[in-house]
Each structure stands twice: as C-alpha cells, then as structure tokens.
Amino acid sequence: MNNFKILLAFLVIGCTSCAKNDSEPNQVTADKTIAATDVSTLKLSDDNTFQNTLPFPIGVGINMGILKRDSRYRDIVIKEYNSISAETAMKMKSLRPSATTYKWSEADDLVKFAEENNKRVYGHALIWGNSLPGWVKDFKGGYPEWKQMFKAHITQVVKHFKGKVVAWDVINEAFADNGDLKNTIWRQKLGPNYIDMAFIFAHRADPSAILFINDYGMEYGNNKRRGLVKYVEGMIERGIPIDGIGTQFHSRVNLPDAKFSRALNEIAATGLKVHISEMEISLNPASLQSLLLSSLLEREQAAKYEYIVRSYNALPKKQQFGITLWNVTDKDSWVLNYYDRPDWPLPFDGNYQKKPAYQGILDGVN
C-alpha cells in the first residue's frame, strides 16, 4: 500500500455530529521477537519504513527549530512518518504572545512542511494548564470575560487551521493522579465544565476536525485513567462532540507489560478513537548519572515497544487513530533535559541511526 492510500484510509473519518449550544458551564449541552540485537543488523529496504509497514498512522512530535536547521532530522521525518504534531508550536504560549496578537509563522511552517510531504497534521494542544503566556495569568475580569477569551482563542486557532489540521488535542493534561480534575486556571475561572465548553467551541469552529482529550500516566495506575474515562463517558451521555482519547505513554522500560494493555483496553472500551499520542520508552527511570547504554537495555526497550504496538494493533481497527512518537532521536527528547540524566528513549539514536527499538515497532504488527 503506498503512502497516499494509507493516509486516505485514515483521514476519511467521520466526526461526531452535534448541534451548537452556547449555554453557561452548568448548562452546557450539545447534541451531539526482537529481530536486531545490534543496529547494524537492521537491513531494511528503502521502502520498509514505518509509514509503509504499519497498518495505522505512525507519527512524530517535531521541534520546528531542529527541523529547519538539521537535514538529517528532516529526512527521517519525511521518510519514516506520515503524521506530525508540533512539540510546542501550536501551544497557547507559542501562538498567542498577547491577548490581541497571534503569531502563526512557526505553526504555519509546520503545516506547509506537512502539505509538501504528504503528512497528516495533528494539532497539539488547544487548552492546557501549562505553557501559558504571561498575559493569561494576569488576565482581569469575571466569568463572562474569561469565557469570551477562552472561546475566542479556541475559535481563532481552529478556524485558522481548518482543513489543514485533521485532529486536535482539545484538552491536554486536565486530570490529577487521583482521577479528579486538576485545579488549573481554566477550572478556577470557568468551572469544571470548561472541558465540555472547549469541545463545543472547537467543533463549531471546524465540524470536520476529530477532537481528542489527551493525558499522561494512564498506564501507571488506575485512578487517573478511570477518572478520565468516567468523565468522558459523561461527555458522551451529554452529547459533547468528543471523538477520541489520547494516552501519552511517556513511559519506562521496567513498567510491566500488562499495565499498557490494560490502559489501552479500558480506554478503547469507551468506543472512541485511541491515539498513543506522545510515546517514548525511557531506559533510565532511576536517573542514574553513570548509566551507559547496553545491548541488553536496547533489547529490553525493543521488546517493550513491540508489546505496546502489538497491544495497540489488537484494538478494533476503527478505533486506531495512530501512534505518535515524541521527537525523532534520543538527543532531541525532552526526557534528557527535564530529568537531567542520560537516556535513550526513542527508536533513533543521536547519530540518526535505527536502534533495535525500530525493529521492535515493526515486529509489533507482524
């Protein structure tokens, strides 16, 4: 199957239809086998890449600065992936430096790159409690002013990319580990139904866009996942236009396999689309500064990638929106700087070479 057929099959996806309603938050409704022990043994033909091999889209979160200045990085994105997300370029802090100013250039460059290279664009993220510009934290006004600002941002961004961004993380990381809603600035100012409102506003701005709620850590424990699932089930009952759940899988090599499959199956039980949205598998969760990469660690990582992909591939096909890896090579991963440690979490090493993890992903669908 060529790239176009793969993309076409996954882009022709219906969006939940619903009527429009602009009620207050408490009244919001809407109708709606590891084949390689050493990288040198991976002898894949030119067309045996992720995007031509996997039966669902394989995506990558990209850093636009690196994409523009590093041809090796760019070449891997072009060759290996058929869906791209912006690591930061579509977050509120990047797009809206002031209440009255939008800065589109970097996000537009991402969309142009995608169009030129036949990639699906996944929008990340409309509303998040972090990565906020300073003016939001200092915003004055009561509920009506906050609601208007909130609505205007979602509407403006979604309309700007209408027809170009296939799907959005409408709400990002809204749940605490205990399964309750986090006390984000949006909840403080708009109430707990800000989530429903965001989906309604996004759907109105682009009725064809596929809308996701996205969160992390759902493979680690039960409380967050079940709290999110329960909330989403309520959204479905209320007719809120939600199409899918993103589970990030910023995970680690020593997490038991069953935790991944349990998370995927419980999320899929909602009947919504499932997106593994920001995946990498860390090899140094204990943050040991002296740790060195070994062939054993690489094999364990490959086996973990294989298990996750195999578990995902077992979900109903109509619910498989795809898997997105969070950046391209080990040296580009957020994990290294955030935790200040050596780590090697991705399928390509810092020299742009395929690791056994790459073959693990392929083996997951064979």
- For the chain, the maximum distance between any two Cα atoms, rounded to a whole number of angstroms, is 62
Active site residue 278: yes
What are the backbone angles phi and psi of residue 64, rounded to the nearest 5°? -65, -35
Angstrom CA distances, 98 to 95, 110, 250, stand at 9, 22, 31
Angstrom CA distances, 72 to 52, 78, 83, 221, stand at 20, 10, 18, 38
Tokens 């100013």 locate to 101
Q: Which of 87, 173, 280, 298 is catalytic?
A: 173
User: What are the b/e assignments for 246-256, b being 16+ CB within 10 Å?
Assistant: bbbbbbbbebe
Q: Which tokens in the block code for residue 44?
A: 């894949």
Q: Which tokens in the block code for residue 284?
A: 């140094």
Q: Which of 80, 278, 280, 306 is catalytic?
A: 278
352 phi-psi bin (left φ>0, alpha ψ -120 to 50, beta other)? left
Angstrom CA distances, 63 to 59, 106, 173, 211, stand at 13, 10, 20, 23
271 phi-psi bin (left φ>0, alpha ψ -120 to 50, beta other)? left
What are the backbone angles phi and psi of residue 82, rounded to the nearest 5°? -120, 10
Report the C-alpha gap between 40 and 354 in whole angstroms.
9
Residue count (the chain): 366
E strands, the chain, are 58-62, 83-86, 120-128, 167-172, 210-215, 244-247, 250-252, 273-282, 320-325
What is the set of active-site residues? 173, 278
